[in-house]
Amino acid sequence: MKPIPDHLEKNLDILFIGFNPSVMSGETGHHFANPTNRFWKILYHSGLTPSLYTTEKDRDLLTLGYGLTNIVARPTKDASEITKEEYEKGRIILEEKLQYYKPKVACFVGKGVYQQFAKQKQVPWGKQEKSVIEDVTDFVAPSSSGLVRMKLDEIVNIYKELKVRP
């Protein structure tokens, strides 16, 4: 299965960074394609999008100043299938993307994504005190996976903090 394309432009307001594409995303070529994933609902309910987007419209986020990428490009059934080597390679590639594209905010969709990127164990939700890349604000949000046990409104409240950041 091929990696799905990033949706990137220079100076985005927010770049959303996931673990890696799901198998369904790999099959469809679109980000957050699994119907159990709540990413699109979260963006809408947090006020980040004016309407409920669908996975087929993922590229349209660019018109709002938002981009999409992953720390690991290979689609898997579960993030636990990602190897340490893939994370390390992905971390370096992601660092290069952030330095080149310079989004205002790098929003890590899942604590584990940021832990792998920043090589930190203890990570709070929201804006991080110190960012990895100069002039890019690091923001850690809960994963939108349907497997996450947090209530949707709790997740949405964290994402709402992004609305005031850019």
Structure token pair of residue 3: 């990696």
Where residue 126 falls (left for φ over 0; alpha for ψ -120 to 50; beta otherwise) is left
| CATH number for the domain that contains residue 130 | 3.40.470.10
Residue 87 confidence (pLDDT) = 96
Beta bridge pairs of residue 22? 76
Number of domains forming the structure of the chain: 1
Residue 5 lies in a domain: no
Q: How far apart are CA 166 and CA 163, in angstroms?
A: 7
Nearest Cα to 27, choosing from 67, 61, 7, 55?
A: 55
Structure token pair of residue 96: 């290069």
Residue 80 confidence (pLDDT) = 87
Residue 49 lies in a domain: yes
The two beta strands, 137-141 and 126-127, are antiparallel
Is residue 107 within 8 Å of residue 46, measured between CB atoms?
A: no
Structure token pair of residue 70: 């992953």
Q: How far is CA 64 from CA 10, 69, 150, in A?
A: 13, 16, 27
Residue 1 lies in a domain: no
Cα dihedral: 37, 43, 49, 54 (round 10): 0
Question: Interhelix angle for 111-118 vs 84-101, to 10°?
Answer: 80
Q: From first to last of its 166 residues, what are the pLDDT tens digits of the chain?
A: 778 999 999 999 999 999 999 999 999 999 999 999 999 999 999 999 999 999 999 999 999 999 999 999 999 988 889 999 999 999 999 999 999 999 999 999 999 999 999 999 999 999 999 999 999 999 999 999 888 889 999 999 999 999 764 4
Residue 6 lies in a domain: no
* Domain extent at residue 130: 14-163
Structure token pair of residue 27: 């099959």
Rg for the chain, CA atoms, rounded = 14
Residue 133 lies in a domain: yes
